């Protein structure tokens, strides 16, 4: 059971769950198991699975930061001060949050039945059958909608059902003879995905009401959705082990997805790996217990497109008064289908080595990899003169190469005191090798407001992924300037005298690391986890929007504006003119070091009638060291959801500090 109050007013989250695992041996050959998990989640003014507190990308944070801090939330008579003549022109964010009732409930049921039958001594057949069902219901009433102007209350509701059916059939044969071990596995698996949705929107209410009064809305609308897809897989795997010294594995996988058209549905993805324990070296090096060399190659497929993406769709709700009086139901061209879509494929080669020293007290793993992704499934913008929008295509090639280290061991072990630690480090470099034929770059705009130049992220041949696209800020025009008005923002221009847009930073970290420590003394245990990320940039659009950045402010609320340009104080902070959000003015270093977990516990088994008792307290996100001026360098408002996703903070909700106290009982 979970009962949490949000860190934003009028937010709440509750969860109730129950798990059951049953396994029985029917006879010497047959085993049967049933695993079930059920849960119910409900939230108020939160997105399930997230932390944002409104339906926009700002999550309410931008509204709070842009609101006039000198204006009381309520008047002397208890009524709200809904708008201010100073600060950003926004509706009172406290009033918006208090008068919101966005209730969401989610029911989950997962059930898995497995049967294992030993046909003969070395041959086993296992059947797995599972169902995962999720029902989500939303009941929303917003008494004071957020925005830049006051508007009437609104209400809406939704219901969705997501079902996943799975069946796996696994035939396994293994045999040992002398120093040789063989294992062969054949798998046939099928998965089916069914999604149904229903939504209702009452539009604006003419009088205050609630969710159950949707019929009072002035523009009620309803919609329904359905999608279904399936994938079937054939997998063959062979494994060979010689004297625990030589290990060989080879796999061939064939996947067939209904999300593609016939002729493009089947993809083949082979893989193989070899590992060898070099005993000749370990026999001659006293401190070295194991030295293993590894090499592997594998291919994987990605079918991550929405069902029916290969077909063009029509959008409803576009009614039109054809006869000039009453509206007739109208349709509008929606997504543009692409019948030629097929699997996105990633090919990766790994070379690695594992070391064990001093009877396993210290371990080290080193891996280098080369990865190439071809036929990327990307939403490519369509030029406005061709109708605009996007179309999903298989385009281009992306390469990644990097190195990873994992070091672990026992630092101290004496009497009751023991200290173990592990450290991992990874470095990655990627590059856009190619796009569509004759195409050198694609500029993306994920519907963020006030982004200039046609977008804020770019894929360009020869550059890495995650490039931020924008203008170069050069400060302000000073007194006597002939090419601009003194006090205005100044930007680099192109040959035609227009603001020049280009790459202004990269949002992909060059390296990441983690350092995990566990110290035990008697019944006490202490865990300290520190991690870091370095070499990436963030577009701080939050700072831009409270620094005279969105064009709808009478006065900015960010403190640096106090030092804005004047004739007597000619700084680099503009007081006039075009303030471009996606510019180098708001590009910041996204590197950080975080104390991500700190926990202390005590365990005892000396209490009569209780097998074990553990009491613990823990804290997450306790400390962040970063030069980033926003709340959290990990916060991201980007909706792209793929490798080209650029780090942009447009009021993104920060990761909260969490403190937990718990008790574990064993009987």
Q: Which domain holds residue 58?
A: 2-666
Q: Residues 630, 452: contact at Cβ < 8 Å?
A: no
- Bigger pLDDT: 30 vs 5: 30
Whole-number Å distance between alpha carbons of 27 and 40: 37
Residue 125 · residue 117 · CB < 8 Å: yes
Residue 509 burial (CB count, 10 A): 20
Question: For residue 432, with 0-12 CB atoms within 10 Å meaning exposed, 13-18 middle and 19 or more buried, which class applies?
Answer: buried
For the cut 90, the answer to whether the pLDDT of residue 46 exceeds it is: no
The per-residue pLDDT for 372 is: 96
Q: What is the model's pLDDT at position 237?
A: 97
**How far does CA 508 lie from the centroid of its chain?**
14
pLDDT confidence of residue 317: 64
* Residue 559 pLDDT greater than 80, yes or no: yes
Q: Report helix, strand and coil shares of the chain as percent, to nearest 5.
A: 5, 55, 40
87 pLDDT tier (thresholds 50, 70, 90): low
| C-alpha–C-alpha distance, residues 471 and 453, integer Å | 8
With residue 628 as reference, give the H or E element that holds it.
Answer: none
CA angle 480, 482, 487 (to 5 degrees): 60
**How many angstroms from the chain centroid is the CA of residue 481?**
46
- Residue-by-residue DSSP string for 477-516: PPTT-SSS-TTBEEE-B-TTSSBPEEEEEE-S-SEEEEEE
Q: Which of 380-384, 514-518, 564-568 has the weakest average pLDDT?
A: 380-384
- Is the predicted pLDDT of residue 11 greater than 90, yes or no? no
Cα separation, 88 vs 555, in Å, equals 7
> Across residues 322-330, what is the average pLDDT?
71
Tell me, what's the pLDDT at 63? 80
The CA distances from residue 243 to 176, 177, 273, 365, 389, in Å, are 11, 10, 17, 22, 60
Residues whose CB is less than 8 angstroms from the CB of residue 432 and which lie 6 or more positions away in sequence, other chains included: 396, 397, 398, 459, 460, 461, 462, 463, 464, 465
What per-residue string of b and e applies to 19-51 under the rule 16 or more CB within 10 Å gives b?
Answer: eeeeeeeeeeeebeeeeeeebebbbbbbeeeeb
DSSP-derived letter for residue 216 is G
Q: Out of 71-80, 220-229, 388-397, 561-570, pick the least confident.
A: 388-397
User: Residue 639 pLDDT > 80, yes or no?
Assistant: no
Categorize the per-residue pLDDT at 456 as very low, low, confident or very high, splitting at 50, 70 and 90.
Answer: confident
Average pLDDT across the chain, whole number: 88
DSSP reduced 3-state for 442:
strand
**Picking from 263-272, 481-490, 540-549, which range would have the lowest pLDDT averaged per residue?**
540-549
CB-CB contact of 619 with 659 (8 Å): yes
pLDDT of residue 644: 55
Q: At 645, which CATH number?
A: 2.40.170.20
Least confident range of 8-17, 493-502, 595-604: 8-17
Q: What percent of the chain has pLDDT over 70?
A: 92
| C-alpha to C-alpha distances, 655 to 314, 596, 620, 623, 650, nearest whole angstrom | 39, 10, 9, 11, 15
- Does residue 274 register a pLDDT over 90? yes
* Residue 51: per-residue pLDDT: 46
Integer Cα distance of 342 and 394 in angstroms = 7
Alpha-carbon distance of 199 to 211, in angstroms, equals 13
**Mean pLDDT, to the nearest integer, of 277-304?**
87
What letter does residue 559 receive in the DSSP assignment?
Answer: G
**Does residue 123 register a pLDDT over 60?**
yes
Q: How far apart are the first and last CA of the chain?
A: 20
pLDDT tier, 553 (very low <50, low <70, confident <90, very high otherwise): low
- 365-391: pLDDT as tens digits: 999 999 999 999 988 877 766 666 778
Three-state secondary structure call for residue 215? helix
Please determine, for residue 304, whether its predicted confidence score (pLDDT) is greater than 60.
Answer: yes
Choice among 9-13, 113-117, 351-355, 435-439 with the minimum mean pLDDT: 435-439
Mean pLDDT on 535-550: 84
d(CA 172, CA 566): 79
Question: Under DSSP, is residue 277 helix (H, G, I), strand (E, B) or coil?
Answer: strand
Span 602-626, pLDDT tens digits: 998 888 778 888 999 999 999 999 9
Spatial separation of the C-alpha atoms in residues 523 and 504, rounded to whole Å: 53
In this predicted structure, what is the pLDDT of residue 368? 98
Residue for token pair 């700084």 = 571
How many domains, the chain? 1
pLDDT level of residue 217 (50, 70, 90 thresholds): confident
Place of tokens 């059920």: 38
- Model confidence pTM above 0.75: yes
Task: Give the integer Cα–Cα distance in Å for 461 and 377.
Answer: 16
- Taking residue 323's Cβ as centre, other Cβ atoms within 10 Å add up to 8
**Structure tokens, 151:** 């508007």
- Please name which of 17, 10, 7, 9 lies closest in space to residue 41, comparing C-alpha atoms: 17
The alpha carbon torsion through 316, 319, 322, 325 (nearest 10 deg) reads: 160
Q: Which two tokens stand for residue 552?
A: 């709808």
Q: Who has greater pLDDT, 199 or 287? A: 199
Is the model's pLDDT at 279 over the cut of 80? no
* Residue 395, strand partner residues: 376
- Residue 379 CA to residue 376 CA, distance in Å, equals 10
Strand pairing report for 473-476 and 467-471: unpaired
Which residues touch 641 (CB under 8 Å, ≥6 apart)?
Answer: none
């Amino acid at each position: 059971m979970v009962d949490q109050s949000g860190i934003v007013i009028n937010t709440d989250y509750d969860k109730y769950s129950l798990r059951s695992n049953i396994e029985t041996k029917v006879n010497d050959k047959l085993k049967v198991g049933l695993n079930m998990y059920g849960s119910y989640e409900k939230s108020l003014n939160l997105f399930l699975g997230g932390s944002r507190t409104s339906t926009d990308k700002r999550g309410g944070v931008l509204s709070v930061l842009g609101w006039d801090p000198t204006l009381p939330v309520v008047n002397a008579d208890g009524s709200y001060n809904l708008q201010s003549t100073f600060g950003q022109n926004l509706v009172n964010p406290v009033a918006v949050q208090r008068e919101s009732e966005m209730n969401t409930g989610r029911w989950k049921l997962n059930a898995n039945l497995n049967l294992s039958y030993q046909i003969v001594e070395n041959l086993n057949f296992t059947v797995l059958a599972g169902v995962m069902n999720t029902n989500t219901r939303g009941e929303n009433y917003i008494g004071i909608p957020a925005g830049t102007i006051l508007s009437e209350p609104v209400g809406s509701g939704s219901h969705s059902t997501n079902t996943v059916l799975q069946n796996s059939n696994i035939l396994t044969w293994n045999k040992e003879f002398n120093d040789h071990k063989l294992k062969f596995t054949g798998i046939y698996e099928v998965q089916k995905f069914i999604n149904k949705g229903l939504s209702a929107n009452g539009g604006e209410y003419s009088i205050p009401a609630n969710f159950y009064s949707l019929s009072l809305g002035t523009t009620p609308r309803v919609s329904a959705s359905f999608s279904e897809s399936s994938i079937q897989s054939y997998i063959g795997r062979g494994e060979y082990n010689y004297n625990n010294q030589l290990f060989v594995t080879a796999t061939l996988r064939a996947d067939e997805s209904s999300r593609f058209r016939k002729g493009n549905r089947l993809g083949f993805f082979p893989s193989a790996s070899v590992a060898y324990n070099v005993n000749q070296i370990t026999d001659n090096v006293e401190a070295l217990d194991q030295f293993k060399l590894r090499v592997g190659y594998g291919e994987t497929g990605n079918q991550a497109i929405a069902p029916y993406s290969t077909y063009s769709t029509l959008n409803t709700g576009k009614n039109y008064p054809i006869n000039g009086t009453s509206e007739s139901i109208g349709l509008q061209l929606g997504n543009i289908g692409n019948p030629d879509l097929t699997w996105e494929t990633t090919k990766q080669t790994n070379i690695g080595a594992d070391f064990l020293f001093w009877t396993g007290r210290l371990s080290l793993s080193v891996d280098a990899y080369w990865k190439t992704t071809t036929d990327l499934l990307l939403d490519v913008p369509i030029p406005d003169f061709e109708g605009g929008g996007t179309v999903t295509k298989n385009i281009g090639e992306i390469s990644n190469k990097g190195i990873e280290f994992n070091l672990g061991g026992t630092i101290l072990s004496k009497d009751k005191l023991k200290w173990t630690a592990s450290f991992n480090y990874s470095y990655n470099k990627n590059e856009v090798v190619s796009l569509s034929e004759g195409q050198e770059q694609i500029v993306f705009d994920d519907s963020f407001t006030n982004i200039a130049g046609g977008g804020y992220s770019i894929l360009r041949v020869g550059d890495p992924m995650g490039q931020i696209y924008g203008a170069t800020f050069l400060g302000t025009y000073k007194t006597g300037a002939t090419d601009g008005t003194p006090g205005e923002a100044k930007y680099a221009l192109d040959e035609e005298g227009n603001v020049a847009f280009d790459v202004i930073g990269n949002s992909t970290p060059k390296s990441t690391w983690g350092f995990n420590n566990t110290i035990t003394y008697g019944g006490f245990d202490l865990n300290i986890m520190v991690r870091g990320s370095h070499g990436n940039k963030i577009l701080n659009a939050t700072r831009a929007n409270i620094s005279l950045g969105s064009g709808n402010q009478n006065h900015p609320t960010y403190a640096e504006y106090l030092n804005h340009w004047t004739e007597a104080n000619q700084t680099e902070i503009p007081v006039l003119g075009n303030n471009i959000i996606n510019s180098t003015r708001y590009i910041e270093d996204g590197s950080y070091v975080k104390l991500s977990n700190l926990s202390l516990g005590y365990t005892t088994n000396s209490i009569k009638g209780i097998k074990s008792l553990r009491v613990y307290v823990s804290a997450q996100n306790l400390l962040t060291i970063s030069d980033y001026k926003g709340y959290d360098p990990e916060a991201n408002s980007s909706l792209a959801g793929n490798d080209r996703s650029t780090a942009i903070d447009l009021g993104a909700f920060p990761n909260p500090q969490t403190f937990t106290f718990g008790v574990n009982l064993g009987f």
